[in-house]
């Protein structure tokens, strides 16, 4: 990795096509990296074969290229990296930080209280499997006390892992490594210094900070940009059937992303070229102007005449 350099990344999961919401994270991480003279990597997070949609990876890379993104180095694929996750898993096991767990999701859900991201694991198997129970998954111990980090967009964020999440899974019952482990290991091995991504991952970040500490990894800096949400506050996603980005509307898409990111691009740019968009964006990008919100509301009727009065109410 560069000694004192900046290295950012975009890490889409190939569970479907990129949509406008995904573009916000890609644009913000790309501009922040380039404007700091840094590198920008693309990593395909195809850790979960059942969720991988055939052809999605090719379409994601094609759409990124059509929108003028240029990434450094080869694209990494998590599906090819099981051995390094296994090594990290071994390190945690050796250090006595993980334990086998026999509980099914259903069992946990029936006794646990709700946390920030699903049920809080009540620690049933923490001190050993009960007689006759078989190990299914592996969980990482978390201790009481706050994990805090200073997010460049959202400010200081705190979470008590013990009360908000509980011991969390790092190797699943189906034998797959959990996203939380893979993302921390890959960011470290790729020399990523700065993670700029959607605020839907804000609640996962304390788990990742804790894992970095357990694995002796230098922490990265974080900036979580708002996700696009509908008027009910639901994140625009493949699950909510957000429309795939159309390469023929690349300049308009980039312009919209810049608007939602609070950058106030001139309206004329929406009809310009992709190169015009990037030229303007690189000259004017400021992370300080990104709304300090977890989400911004997607306006479906926003078209070519949209003015830059989209939410930018930083206080």
193: CB partners within 8 A, 6+ apart: 1, 5, 6, 7, 8, 38, 220, 221
221: CB partners within 8 A, 6+ apart: 152, 193, 194, 195
In sequence order, what E strands does 56-106 have? Answer: 76-77, 98-101
Which residues are marked as active site?
238
CA distance 198 to 59: 20
CA distance 133 to 173: 14
CB of 239 to ligand GLU, least distance (A): 12
CB of 205 to ligand GLU, least distance (A): 9
Angle between helices 179-189 and 205-215 (to 10 degrees): 60
C-beta closer to ligand GLU: residue 13 or 52:
13
C-beta closer to ligand GLU: residue 17 or 45:
45
Is-contact 82 90, C-beta < 8 A? Answer: no
In sequence order, what E strands does 172-212 have? Answer: 194-198
What residue ranges bind ligand GLU (CB under 6 A)? 11-13, 45, 183, 197, 201
C-beta closer to ligand GLU: residue 136 or 210:
210
Lookup: tokens for 219: 């922490």
Under DSSP, the state recorded for 273 is -
C-beta closer to ligand GLU: residue 67 or 197:
197
CB of 232 to ligand GLU, least distance (A): 20
In sequence order, what E strands does the chain have? Answer: 7-10, 39-44, 76-77, 98-101, 114-115, 118-119, 137-140, 146-151, 155-160, 168-171, 194-198, 221-225, 227-229, 295-297
CB of 66 to ligand GLU, least distance (A): 19
CB of 37 to ligand GLU, least distance (A): 22
C-beta closer to ligand GLU: residue 295 or 312:
295
């Amino acid at each position: 990795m560069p000694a004192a350099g900046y290295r950012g990344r975009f890490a889409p999961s190939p569970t479907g096509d990129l949509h406008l919401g995904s573009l916000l994270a890609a644009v913000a991480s790309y501009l922040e990296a380039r404007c700091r003279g840094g590198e920008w990597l693309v990593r395909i997070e195809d850790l979960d074969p059942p969720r991988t949609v055939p052809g999605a990876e090719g379409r994601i890379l094609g759409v990124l290229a059509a929108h003028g993104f240029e990434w450094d180095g080869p694209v990494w694929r998590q599906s090819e990296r099981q051995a390094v996750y296994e090594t990290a898993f071994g390190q945690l096991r050796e250090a006595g930080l993980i334990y086998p767990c026999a509980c099914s999701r259903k069992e946990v859900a029936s006794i646990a209280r709700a946390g920030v991201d699903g049920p809080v694991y009540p620690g049933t198997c923490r001190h050993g499997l009960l007689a006759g129970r078989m190990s299914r998954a592996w969980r990482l111990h978390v201790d009481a006390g706050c994990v805090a980090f200073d997010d460049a967009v959202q400010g200081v964020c705190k979470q008590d892992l013990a009360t908000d999440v509980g011991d969390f899974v790092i190797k699943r019952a189906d034998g797959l490594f959990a996203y939380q482990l893979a993302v921390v290991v890959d960011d470290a091995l790729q020399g990523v210094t700065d993670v700029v991504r959607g605020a839907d991952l804000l609640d996962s970040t304390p788990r990742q900070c804790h894992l970095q500490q357990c694995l002796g990894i230098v922490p990265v800096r974080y900036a979580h940009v708002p996700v696009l949400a509908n008027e009910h506050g639901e994140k625009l996603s493949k699950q909510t059937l957000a429309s795939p980005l159309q390469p023929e509307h690349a300049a308009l898409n980039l312009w919209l992303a810049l608007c939602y990111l609070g950058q106030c691009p001139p309206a004329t740019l929406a009809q310009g070229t992709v190169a015009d968009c990037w030229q303007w964006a690189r000259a004017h990008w400021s992370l300080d102007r990104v709304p300090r919100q977890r989400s911004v509301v997607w306006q479906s009727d926003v078209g070519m005449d949209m003015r830059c009065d989209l939410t930018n109410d930083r206080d």
